Structures are given as structure tokens and as C-alpha cells.
Amino acid sequence: MKNAYQELEQRFRRVNLLRQAVGMLQWDQSVTMPPGGANARGAQLAELKVIIHEIVTDRRTEQLLLDVDISRLGSWQAANVREMQHIWSHANAVPRDLIAARSKACTACEMKWRTARASAQYKQVLPDFKNVVDLTREVAEAKASALNVSAYDTLFGQYAPGMTIDEIDPIFDDYLSFLPNFLGRVVARQAAGPPPPELKGPFELEAQRQVARHLAEIVGLDFASARLDESEHPFSGGVPDDSRITTRYSKDDFSEAMMAVLHETGHAMYERGRPSEWYEQPVGCSRGMVIHESQSLIVEMQACRSREFFQWAAPMFAHAFGGSGAAWGADEFYKRATAVRPSLIRIDADEVTYPAHIILRTQLERALLAGDLLPVDLPGAWNEKILQLLDISPSNDAEGCLQDIHWYDGAWGYFPTYTLGAMAAAQIFKAAVGENPMILDSITDGQFRPLMRWLLSNIHEHGCLFSTQDLLIRATGRKLDPEAFKSHLHERYLS
């Protein structure tokens, strides 16, 4: 039995290393690859994913999973086998040829999306997107049949293992009931006072790059084993010892790039904090995207949109960009960072209205997957829902259904984790500050070590040893509780 486990470790170590190679190729595709490389990159990624699929679904892997005796293993090893079984069950449900076809389709569609987004013309990506939708549906239906769950849950379960959309629907419905009255009160309160003065650009891009790097460093990112680059859509990738984060800069507003860097650094710090002795095993991976998003949002939203953060950051920003006057005060930065007004663009949305963007996308991708919404009708359905939820209307497709990369590069079922992560972030941050009140005082001094140490010992170093809900219970005393998020919003915006 011990030998069966050891052989499983060897097989899944290989799988993990190949997945890391896939991630690096995808980073290169988004950051440095010329457009003409799309076909070759699509073939490379597809082949690697097929190799991974073959290792996981090999009959020997299945037999080893049957032979291993979990009762004779330690807690980490037993949890490792549990995660292996989860990976196997998802992979075994999908034919190899379908894996390759969808991978190639997503690579091609992402490249078309870049052009379509730049020209704000959804019709340019429609044929490729329809192919992605069709293949995603095939994958979901194959998994649903094998795993005896709904088609959408097979996709959502890739990013939030152990959770189902039936658990999430009541949370989203509750927030939609909460939002209109709360949003109206916050907007009225903010409108009653004088608006904070705006910062006047342009802001030199090289100065922005230096500040962005400094922000990542003060959170804890070590650039001896990390990179900060530029991409169409900010993201975090790489491996624990080779972090790759990206942002995008605007000469007119440096705040978007800075907050994106803080967000992605939160992701990177989670990856770097995973248990080193289990890096190359499933149990050493991050505990799904709900927890991953909570770690990025603890840094960006909870810590770095606080008054404490801007007491430290405002003078630093003023020095870096040569700013002076009332607009560069800490209070003004805080007011701008917590201004609430409906936005067409998700990544620019405030934390009060952000969940509406996620709920919109979740509803639409479920309809696309079920065939209740055709890809050709997506722009109209998008515009109708955003008007219904936030009373705003896109003027073009770039402000609507083309703004996110996720559907076009194959990340279906991912969107709900953003808002679930925000809710978990509020809950975890409150627990951290409650246990160590010095965390906020340290942020005032530009010191993130107390916060990151707490997250390391309570979240990061546990990898996948516990389920999402058990991890939250251990760290905060209760499972995911959306009331913690609403309480945070009341405290920040109406107290």
C-alpha cells in the first residue's frame, strides 16, 4: 500500500510540473508572444494538456488509486490522495480528443478576442467564441454524466472544489435584495459632501512602474524570484519560486495599475506561502479560487483601500509623481478609493456594486452553457442585464461583453469565485485584525509583515489539507458567512 502511494506521488509530481509548464507558456502568450505565434502556441498547449490527461487517466493511475489504503497514511498523505481522486474523476470523464480540441479553440479565441476588444467589435470573435461555447458544453456534459452533478457545477467545481451553485444562488439572491437600498444610501451620503479633487495627469509611466514594484515589495514580494510585467488583462501566474504578476498602465490615472499590482501580489503571496514540502503534490496546491481571491482582495480591498494604508501611501505617491496640494492628501486618496458609483467595467467597479457584475456574468454563462442564450445574442443580453442591475448601458461591446478575457480563453465557472472571495476576504481580515490589532497600525507604517504572517499560518501553509469551509472555520470560527461582507460594507460606507 505504501508503494502504491509513493508511485502516485511520482505520477502527480510529473502532472504538477507539466501544469507549471503550461502556466509559463500561457504567461508568455499574454505578455511577450507575438500574435503570429498563436497557432504554434495552441498546438504546444494542447499537446501538454493531452499528456497531462493521459497520465492522470492512465489505467495504472486508476489502479493505484484503488489499491492505496488511506487508513495507513498520515493526514497530509490522505488529503493528497483525496485531491488526486478529485483530479482523476474530472479528467477521466472527458475524452482526450475533446481536451485537445477545446484547448486549441480557447487559444485561438483568446487571440481573436484581443483584436475584437481593441476594435469593440464582438462579431469579430463570434465564430471562435461559438466554438468555445460548444466545446465547453461538451466537456461539461461529459463530466455531468460521469460525476452525477449539474453541468455548470462541473465547471464551477474546478475553481471551488466541494461547493455547488445551489449553495451560491441564495447568497447571490440575498445580495441582489440588499444592494438597491444600500447603494442608494451610500450614493446619497457621498453626494451630500464635496467630491474629492481629482489628480491631474499625465503620470509618467516609468514612475508608475517603480511605484508598482515598490508596492509589491512592501507587501512581501521578493523580486529575486518574481517579475512584474504588462498585459492586456492583469493576472498572477508562475510558480512559488518564480512569481509572474502583470498590470496595465494609463498615463491619465495611476491608481488602476497600482491597485491591480496589489491585487495580483496578494495572489502571488498565497502561492509563495504554500507548504514547500508539498509544492509538487496536489495537497500542496492552493485551496481553490474562492480562497485565492480572498487573499488578493485582503491585500487590495481590505488593507489597501483603508484609511491606514493611505496615511502611508499618500506621501509616497506625492513624492513619486511630484504631486502637491489638497488632492494628494490621505483623506482625498481614501475618498477616491472608496467612491461608489455604478461602472460599466468590472475591474473598475467599487466593492459595493462589484458583486452585481459577477452575478450578471454568472447568469449569462449559465444560460450560454444550457443553450438558453445563443452566443450571437450575448451583447444584447449583457446590455439588458447591466441596465437592470445597475441602471447603466454600454456604448459599445468593449464596455460590455468583450471586457473580460475569461470566457474567451476558457475560464468558465470562474466568475462566482470573485464575489465569494470578497466575502471570505472580509471575514478573514476581520478575524486577523481581531486576533492581532497591530495589523492595522503596521499598515499605517507601510509594514505588511504582521498581516502576511497571520495569513501564512492560518491560510497559506495549509495548502489543500482542509476543504474551503473547514479552512474558513479554522481561521475565522465559522464557515463562509456573507453577513461579514455586508457588515464590512456598512462599517466602511455608512458608519
Cα 30 from Cα 25, distance rounded (Å) = 9
Nearest to 129 by CA among 152, 109, 99, 115: 109
pLDDT recorded at residue 232: 84
The answer to whether residues 443 and 451 touch, using CB atoms and an 8 Å cutoff, is yes
Cα 60 from Cα 205, distance rounded (Å) = 54
Cα 223 from Cα 494, distance rounded (Å) = 39
Cα 334 from Cα 304, distance rounded (Å) = 9
CA–CA distance from 24 to each of 10, 17, 112, 150, 234 (Å)? Answer: 22, 11, 21, 32, 15
Grid cell listed for 164: 455547488
Grid cell listed for 141: 456534459
* Residue pointed to by grid coordinates 499528456: 51
Give start and end residues of each alpha helix (H) in 193-306.
Answer: 205-219, 255-272, 288-297
Backbone angles phi, psi at 194, to 5 degrees: -70, 140
Single-letter code of the amino acid located at 404: D
Average pLDDT over residues 245-251: 96
* pLDDT tens digits, 395-448: 999 999 999 999 999 999 999 999 999 999 999 999 999 999 999 999 999 999
pTM score, whole prediction: 0.94
pLDDT recorded at residue 2: 57
* pLDDT tens digits, 452-468: 999 999 999 999 999 99
Domain positions in the chain are: 2-148, 153-495
The answer to whether residues 151 and 370 touch, using CB atoms and an 8 Å cutoff, is yes
CA–CA distance from 37 to each of 107, 150, 232, 458 (Å)? Answer: 11, 37, 17, 42
Grid cell listed for 428: 478573514
pLDDT recorded at residue 396: 97
- 235 has pLDDT over 90: yes
> Mind giving me the DSSP string for 103-121?
HHHHHHHHHHHHHHHHHT-
Grid cell listed for 208: 508608475
Cα 2 from Cα 188, distance rounded (Å) = 65
Say which residues have a Cβ less than 8 Å from residue 180's Cβ, sequence separation at least 6.
none
CATH 1.10.530.10 fits 153-495, yes or no: no
Average pLDDT over residues 146-163: 94
* Residue pointed to by grid coordinates 492512465: 58
Average pLDDT over residues 104-124: 95
> Mind giving me the DSSP string for 295-346?
HHHIIIIIITTSHHHHHHHHHHHHHHHT--SGGGSHHHHHHHHT-----SSG
Single-letter code of the amino acid located at 35: P
Active-site residue (options: 9, 110, 256, 264): 264
Backbone angles phi, psi at 401, to 5 degrees: -75, -5
Q: Give me the half-sphere count of Cα atoms (radius 13 Å) on the Cβ side of residue 168.
A: 25
Q: What is the mean pLDDT of the chain?
A: 96
Average pLDDT over residues 461-490: 97
pLDDT recorded at residue 376: 98
% of residues, the chain, pLDDT over 90: 97
Decide if 308 is catalytic: no
Rounded to the nearest 10 degrees, how much is the dihedral formed by the CA atoms of 18, 111, 265, 240? 10
